[in-house]
């Protein structure tokens, strides 16, 4: 806003709209739109919403028309001395210059605050980017670990399959070995000759005759050739003296 601008802004903190039609001007060099001026200055005592100054004078608050008619402009200063006209004009220009200065300061304050907020946002954004980068690095590490785990699982699955195949082959060989061992035992049992003990004899007619023939061959008497006690009684007893 410059001195050449033909539009003032409402000095109400939350309004700041361009003024048109009627405006409320205060002795503390503030101006307000008709809506906020009517709402603020109808109460007593009147307080300036911009600087909190007390406005108790009769002409401390003036409702003025911003686009006066030609008749008003022709008659408002008519009959006044030139120095009064110049004084009025100087005060009016001073009021305008003050508004321009206040707007300039407000814009600088807004720019400074926006710059501070921008720096804070940039700092926050940098911190968030660093945090996101750390999270991404952690996620990349987790992904690499998962890939290694998948590789380990794949290798474990392959080793397990090979182990199962070796177990199947071992079971097959074990079955073949058991069958061959049983077959060999059967063949050995079928071709082996039984060994007889000389002191063990089986009963039977043939075996009895063999037993007694063996005794005769050795000079032994048969059982029925031994003398009985009754037969020996009839023989004289000869003692060898």
Domains recognised in the chain with CATH numbers: 8-67 (3.30.40.10)
Contact at 8 Å (CB) between 20 and 66?
yes
Q: Distance between CA atoms of 77 and 87, rounded to whole angstroms? A: 11
The encoded tokens of residue 27 equal 């002795």
pLDDT score of 196: 52
> Bigger pLDDT: 238 or 189?
189
* Residue 66: partners with Cβ closer than 8 Å, 6 or more residues away: 19, 20, 21, 22, 23
Residue 164 tokens, joined:
């199962």
Residues forming a β-bridge with 63: 24
pLDDT band with cut points at 50, 70 and 90 for residue 193: low
Q: In the numeric block, which tokens belong to residue 173?
A: 């060989």
CA 175 – CA 167 distance, rounded (Å)? 12
| pLDDT on residue 41 | 87
> Averaging pLDDT over each range in 83-87, 99-103, 189-193, which range is the top one?
83-87
pLDDT tens digits, 68-91: 999 998 998 999 999 999 999 999
Average pLDDT, the chain: 81
Instruction: Kindly report, residue by residue over 121-168, the tens digit of the pLDDT.
Output: 999 999 999 999 999 999 999 999 898 888 888 999 999 999 999 999
State the pLDDT at residue 123: 94
**200, pLDDT greater than 70:** no
pLDDT digits 0-9 by tens, 36-67: 998 888 877 889 998 888 888 888 999 999 88
Which residues share a beta bridge with 29?
none
DSSP line for 112-123: HHHHHHHHHHHH
- Measure the CA–CA gap between 10 and 16, rounded to whole angstroms: 4
Q: What are phi and psi of 124, to 5 degrees?
A: -65, -40
Assess contact for 37 and 60: CB atoms under 8 A: no
pLDDT of amino acid 189: 85
Strands, sheet with 31-33, edge to edge from the N-terminal-most edge strand? 31-33, 22-26, 61-65
For residue 93, pLDDT over 90 is answered with yes
Task: Locate 161 and state its tokens.
Answer: 């399959």
For 148-203, give the DSSP string. HHHHHHHHHHHHHHHHHHHHHHHHHHHHHHHHHHHHHHHHHHHHPPPPPPTT----
């Amino acid at each position: 806003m410059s001195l050449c601008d033909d539009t003032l802004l409402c000095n109400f903190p939350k309004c700041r709209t361009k003024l048109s039609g009627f405006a409320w001007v205060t002795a503390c060099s503030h101006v307000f739109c008709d809506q906020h001026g009517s709402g603020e200055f109808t109460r007593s005592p009147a307080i300036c919403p911009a600087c909190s100054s007390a406005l108790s004078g009769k002409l401390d608050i003036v409702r003025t028309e911003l686009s006066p008619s030609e008749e008003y402009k022709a008659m408002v200063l008519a009959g006044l001395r030139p120095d009064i006209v110049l004084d009025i004009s100087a005060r009016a220009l001073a009021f305008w210059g003050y508004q321009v200065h206040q707007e300039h300061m407000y814009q600088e304050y807004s720019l400074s605050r926006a710059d501070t907020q921008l720096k804070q946002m940039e700092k926050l954004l940098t911190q968030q980017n660093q945090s996101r980068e750390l999270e991404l690095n952690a996620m990349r590490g987790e992904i690499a670990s998962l890939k290694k785990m998948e590789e380990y699982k794949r290798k474990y699955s392959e080793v397990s399959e090979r182990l199962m195949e070796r177990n199947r082959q071992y079971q097959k060989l074990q079955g073949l070995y058991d069958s061959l061992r049983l077959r060999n035992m059967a063949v050995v049992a079928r071709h082996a000759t039984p060994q007889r003990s000389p002191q063990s004899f089986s009963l039977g007619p043939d075996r009895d005759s063999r037993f007694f023939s063996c005794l005769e061959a050795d000079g032994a008497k048969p059982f029925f050739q031994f003398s009985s006690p009754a037969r020996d009684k009839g023989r004289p007893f000869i003692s060898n003296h």
